[in-house]
Amino acid sequence: MMTSLKAEFWREIWIYKRYPMEQITNLFLVVLIFMAIFWGGSLVGSGIVGSSLNSLVVGYTLWTLIQNTISEMAQTVVSQAESGIVEQQYLMPISSKRLFFNKSIVNIVFSLIQSILVLIAVMWLTNHWIKLPLIVVIPFILSLMTTIGLGYLMSSLVLRFKRVGSILIIFQYVYLAVLLTDFENYSIIIKILSCLLPISPMVSWIRLAINSHVYNLNFYLVGSIFNTILWLIIGVIIFNLADKYVKKNGTLAQY
């Protein structure tokens, strides 16, 4: 497993070194989209300030983490499948589940670095520096764990349906709206239902913490843990089904 994980890390590092301009451009575009939202709010009304800006920054930063992780995962699997690399990797003496787990870990690490850079950039451009209380470490770690389940889910879609670019684009921008929605300000029923959406309770928890609002710690702790376990289970189950399907029908390389 460690050899496979190390190989995935070196592959990603090589890509960053080989195509630095593409990575810089992607980072610039992500920051530009945020600034467009920020400036748009300033033009329409009195601007986005205070707790509203905190919520926007937190939601957008976590969205970049999800977006980078899932899109990179999908693009990597598609590229490697088209070139026959995935078929070769399936011959390795490790399970396919562990193989894609390694890919998810590597994508999460590099996406986390990008998200931190985005967070620093948007705080600098808006001149609004957020003080992060220590407790936000818990929902943030749970968010990272949840993206592993989402990585499995996206990998299974690629293995089964091959081309999922349009689905990915729709998901990214629909989910941006979801993460920017303040579910913590709605009724208890809406709050409970929001715990079914990936990473949603973690985002609400982080927003409440950085805005120094009074909140039910037990509710968000239990809701976040439930959310993580739920999407890890869903991701693994769907991946197992897709994995068995492509092996049984021999459709791994049919693109």
d(CA 169, CA 167): 6
Whether 50 has a pLDDT exceeding 50, the answer reads no
Domain regions of the chain by residue span: 49-249
d(CA 235, CA 119): 28
pLDDT tens digits along 212-228 = 888 899 999 999 999 99
Whether 124 has a pLDDT exceeding 70, the answer reads yes
pLDDT for position 193: 94
pLDDT tens digits along 154-166 = 888 888 877 777 7
Please compute Rg for the chain using Cα positions.
19
Whether 252 has a pLDDT exceeding 50, the answer reads yes
pLDDT tens digits along 181-193 = 888 888 999 999 9
Q: Say what the pTM is.
A: 0.81
Q: Confidence class of residue 47 from pLDDT cuts 50, 70 and 90?
A: very low
Q: List phi, psi (to 5°) of 106.
A: -65, -45
